[in-house]
Amino acid sequence: MSTPIADYALLGDTERAALISRSGSVDWLCLPRFDAPACFAAILGDEENGRWLIGPDGEARSTRTYREQSFVLDTVHETDTGRVRVTDLMPFGDGRADLVRVVEGLDGEVAMLHEWVVRTQYGKVLPWVSRIADEAGHTVIRAVAGPDMLVLRGDRLPVPEDHHHRDRFTVAAGDRLTFSMTWVPSWCDVPPTLDVQRRIDDTVAHFDEWASRHTHQGRYRDAVTRSLLVLRLLTDELRGGIVAAPTTSLPESVGGERNWDYRYCWLRDASLTLEALLSCGYVDETRLWRDWLVRAVAGDPADLQIMYAVDGARELPERELDHLPGYAGSRPVRIGNGAVDQRQSDVLGEVMISLDAARRLGVRESSETWAVQKALVDDLADHWEQSDHGLWEIRGPARHFTHSRVMVWAAFDRAVRAVEEKGHDGDVERWRELRERVHAEVCERGYARERNTFTQHYDTREVDAALLLIPVVGFLPADDERVLGTVRAVEEDLLRDGFVLRYRTQSGVDGLAGDENPFLACSFWLAQAYARTGRLDDAHAMMQRLLAVRNDLGLLSEEYDPRTGQLVGNFPQAFSHLALVQAACAIAAAEGVTVTE
């Protein structure tokens, strides 16, 4: 049986991340960065695909919390004979790739199991493992495969057994054992020992200080804080890229084929993340991502991609890993993402909206950063009439998606603002004219008068949850009858058990078999729409319903299955968390609460 997705906790240091189960098994870890191959891949298979378990050897009642506002995880396991606490973290800010685990006896005695199973290249490659002495003369375990070396230290080390390393031991009250694993390139020396307590203290202090700076004061402040922290953790501290999720191929529907790799940087998702951060007072993070953007898209604007690797690399070929059975048998397992080659006309609109918001908060443009934006907008002006694959990366035929056309309007609108309000140079007369043409086209071809709703694309009467964003980007006011009619149509067609689908898959628009579950970001969008249209009671009801499906640590996946009560899809998902922040801000604004200072 696969571990429920909600049973996983997130560890990370802003360059890489791990998922650890309630029982203490690290079942997913990519090293040395978010989009690198996994050395623990049990979440997509079993223990033979790699994991690191430290937990009770038998039945236990387990509770867990993050320490303060950090991602230092404390899990207390209680058995019939005693209690033990395991503290897990990936230390922040030391320039290393470490995973640290501390075991402390609290009461009585607890029998523990330690199992270390390293399999590089997504659980496929068995490394060469040996015991050596470190710089202080202490014995460590070293696992080497190709470019990767993993070094395990500990107060007592597991012993080899059938290509695993295992140990059983008993922890009594007052006992404390420390373990750490470090990744380095295989041609490097074994790194020195960490000062574990200092790294714990520094990591907690860093995230506490960062969380204390956000300015949201609404009713859902605690949920906003954890969501902002998730977004921060998924922003690469060194390179500036923002990943959509730290995982690949966790299924949108268990047993189905809608399994995608989200360990990359979508310009859209990153832009929306910046908008969420900016709305809560975080401005410096915008500069980090903007500089990443300029590097990533440098060159011919016609070569703009919708996504890039964490370091800005362009090649993300999609392939299937046949050696992995998938989460709960959900195949195929994919790495890379074929959507990289799609045209998605909404992307530049999101980029321009986020950079416009940054300018309004005082982030200064350099000549280079504005030149890149201007070139991208000029290229859009030459190609804006082309069909695309839309926000949802439809793998069916390209169409004129209404949301995409709205975002084309937004790109021209924000470019015009930059000239009119900030004095930047550009072909503003052409941009103004195109802005008006796009607006008129959308209102004519993307709107169904007989039902008073905007439509998913120009050749259908189906609706799409992305249409809820029309007033958010300023295309029409929230009290426009066409907006109100669209909200009603979404409620009628896309609500499933109180949560919102992206669109009706039965229409066949996406070219894929099977169904999918409600998309959590879309449900937050409906809460935001309720707030903007004066339906505050409905907004609060939806928010409370959504907050109730978070796991015990406040984390959300991509989708939710209301029939089974399970989180599904990649986890944790930046899109879900940024949409939570946006909805909370919209509700606070509707209630007259000061959101930023």
What does the pLDDT read at residue 596? Answer: 44
Per-residue confidence at 594, pLDDT binned at 50, 70, 90?
A: low
Dist. CA 276–CA 289, nearest whole Å: 13
Share of the chain above pLDDT 90, in %: 86
299-337, pLDDT tens digit by residue? 788 888 999 999 999 999 999 999 999 999 999 999 999
First-to-last alpha carbon distance for the chain, in angstroms, is 49
pLDDT band at 211 (very low <50, low <70, confident <90, very high): very high
Higher pLDDT, 572 or 344: 572
User: What single string gives the DSSP state of each residue in 520-549?
Assistant: HHHHHHHHHHHHHTT-HHHHHHHHHHHHTT
Residue 436, SS3 per DSSP: helix
- Confidence tier at 437 by pLDDT (50, 70, 90): very high
369-394 average pLDDT score: 93
Closest by Cα among 304, 302, 284, 279 to 293: 304
- Residue pLDDT, tens place only, 32-46: 999 999 999 999 999
Omega prior to 32 cis, within 30 of 0: yes
* The two three-digit tokens of residue 448, written as one number: 């169904």
pTM of the full structure:
0.96
The whole-number pLDDT of residue 295 equals: 87
pLDDT at 222 over 70: yes
pLDDT bracket for residue 94 (50, 70, 90): confident
362 φ, ψ (degrees, to nearest 5): 100, 5
**Res 597: pLDDT:** 40
In tens, the pLDDT along 229-250 reads 999 999 999 999 999 999 999 9
pLDDT of residue 365: 86
CA angle 42–48–52, rounded 5-degree value: 60
